[in-house]
Structure 1
Amino acid sequence: MDYKNMTLEELKKDLIIDAQKGHPFFLAGAIYWLAMGVLGFFLEGQQLALFYLVGTGSIFPLAILLGNMQKVNILSKNPLGVLGGIIGGIQAFYIPIWIVIYMKEYQLLPMAIGVLAGSHFFPYLWIYKSRAYLFFTVALALVSFIFGYIIIDQAFLLLPFLLTALYLLMVAALKMETKAFYDNTSINMQ
């Protein structure tokens, strides 16, 4: 692909088709949050929080695996895909914050992971021309804050299942947006 001679709009279209708006990341996130919710029935306290912390490292490789299984190129060489990777990599800077929270106030960890991980999705609303990314970023921050801080006794019980549902909703929304994009692109090409 000759990315150097493509316009910004062509780059966006190429990435939307290639990466299908990044939905495998949300599927991986849903699996992470579901696993954390199920673990909450067997573990508690700081031990459970440690699984939350260490488990975040599974999301990226799981997204790659799920993307490969669905033939979705989430590691696109498209310059906007590279930009998306850099934006996603910002989460590495959250790890020290999560570690400090784990050591000082571990019960706040689900909220911190939910809010910070969710906030990094905001720029994708521009990259993928997606209203779903806007809704999801705001919803994730609000739900994580309410059920991870205001109603803190629900942080390890209810929050992971609520976030699982939000992530699955996002997968469905992105698939619908991608399908609508394909349909609209097909109509415009005729």
Structure 2
Amino acid sequence: MELNEIRNELSVRGKNGIGFLSSAVVIWSLITFIFLQSFDIQQKNIYMLFSTGLMFPLSVLFSSFIKADWKLKNNPLGNLGLFLNIAQLIYFPILFWGIIHHPNDAILFFAIITGAHFFPYGWFYHTLAYYIMAPVISVFMLFLGLYLDGEKLWLIPLSMTIGLCFLVFWNRLDYKKKMI
């Protein structure tokens, strides 16, 4: 089987990772809600970290709901998606440093890390959506962070949620095109 055929199979069977992206939409919506509260910034950051614990259970739920096969045991690249997702955790020391030394910027670090980690999924799922949205999200978050004050930090997770919704929509269109 040719590499592009393998990647297209990953795209179709895994539905471009839409189950995981949908989970991220819920989590970033929850983070937006957290940052709209009157807690101090340390509390918000702790709750933000705790909310990420929902990622895997929600992803399994959404994937089963849309009938996406993200395990892909018979595909030689099947485990690569898991490694690409785990790779994001390697950037978490930057986030922890931000929480400790620059707590108001931790949400910005997290948003940039999340946006940037989508880039290799463009190759994995053989879709432009991830290739384009990863740098768009990361750079947009940077500019948003440069111009926000501490009172409007909720705009970062809200913008992330909107970007993720767009990514879900674009990946769904790509998936449907591949099904034809």
TM-score normalized by structure 2?
0.90
Structure 1 or 2, whichever has the larger Rg, is 1
Q: Which residue of 2 aligns with 1:188?
A: none
2:109 and 2:119 map into 1 onto residues whose CA distance is 16
Q: Does 1:48 align with 2:44?
A: yes
Shift of 1:76: 1.9
Residue 81 of structure 1 aligns to a residue whose secondary structure is: coil
CA RMSD of aligned residues (A): 1.7
2:95 and 2:152 map into 1 onto residues whose CA distance is 15
Q: In the alignment, which of 65, 74, 77 is matched to residue 70 of structure 2? A: 74
Q: CA contact under 8 A between 1:110 and 1:148: conserved in structure 2?
A: no
Structure 1: gaps (5+ residues): 1-5, 184-190
Q: Does 1:23 align with 2:26?
A: no
- Runs (4+) off by over 4 Å: none
Q: Which residue of 2 aligns with 1:12?
A: 7
Mean Cα deviation higher: 127-136 or 169-178: 127-136
Residue 123 of structure 1 aligns to a residue whose secondary structure is: helix
Q: CA contact under 8 A between 1:147 and 1:155: conserved in structure 2?
A: no
Q: What does residue range 156-171 of structure 1 map to in structure 2 within 5 Å?
A: 156-171=153-168
Q: AA paired with 1:39? A: I
2:106 and 2:78 map into 1 onto residues whose CA distance is 30
1:83 and 1:149 map into 2 onto residues whose CA distance is 34
Structure 2: gaps (5+ residues): none
Q: What does residue range 1-190 of structure 1 map to in structure 2 within 5 Å?
A: 6-42=1-37, 43-77=39-73, 78-153=75-150, 156-183=153-180
Residue 79 of structure 2 aligns to a residue whose secondary structure is: helix
Change (3 A) 1:111 1:66: same
Change (3 A) 1:180 1:131: same
1:130-186 per-residue CA deviation (whole Å, 9 max, x = no partner) reads 111122101210222122344243662211111111101111110000001111xxx
2:76 and 2:105 map into 1 onto residues whose CA distance is 36
Shift of 1:58: 2.1
Q: Which residue of 2 aligns with 1:3?
A: none
Change (3 A) 1:115 1:122: same
Residue 21 of structure 2 aligns to a residue whose secondary structure is: helix
Identity rate, percent: 25
Change (3 A) 1:151 1:129: same
Q: CA contact under 8 A between 1:53 and 1:98: conserved in structure 2?
A: no
